[in-house]
Amino acid sequence: MKLLSVIVFSTCTFLLASANSYASEEFFGPLESRPKGETGTWVIGGRQVEVTDKTEIEEEFGPFVVGACIEVEYEGKLVKKVTTEEEKNCRK
């Protein structure tokens, strides 16, 4: 019984640690450049971001123009969503 408890505890700990390693994260920054289409390499806040056909793109606070404040949501290396945001979110 004790061995079973140890195995269950170890398995749960491993699964929780794995899930946390791919937790969603986000950052804000000004749009510096982007490709003509939606997919490709965008530069946001000095970071290169790969936007794919699976990335959700939302113009919530205006169009994607150079200088616009952008929120990037990602999970691991996968960019999940790019959204225009209020300028106050990009001020330091």
Residue 2 included in any domain: no
Q: What is the pLDDT of residues 2-40, one digit of tens each?
A: 544 435 444 444 444 444 445 679 999 999 999 999 999
In a domain, residue 64? The reply is yes
What CATH number has the domain bearing residue 67?
Answer: 2.40.50
CB 52 within 8 A of CB 19: no
The answer to whether 45 and 29 have CB atoms below 8 angstroms apart is: yes
Long-range contacts of residues 84-88, Cβ cutoff 8 Å, at least 24 apart: 84/58, 84/59, 84/60, 85/28, 85/60, 85/61, 86/61
Of the candidates 60, 67, 73, the one whose C-alpha atom is nearest the C-alpha of residue 30 is 67
Tens digit of each residue's pLDDT (9 = 90 or more) over 33-79? 999 999 999 999 999 999 999 999 999 999 999 999 999 999 988 89
Token pair listed for 11:
């398995």
Task: Examine residue 15 and state whether it is found in any structural domain, yes or no.
Answer: no
How far is the first Cα of the chain from the last one, in angstroms, to the nearest whole number?
56
Number of separate domains in the chain: 1
Structural domain containing residue 39: 24-89
Q: Is position 51 within any domain?
A: yes
pTM: 0.72
In a domain, 8, yes or no: no
**Does residue 10 belong to any structural domain of this protein?**
no
Q: Is residue 46 part of a domain?
A: yes
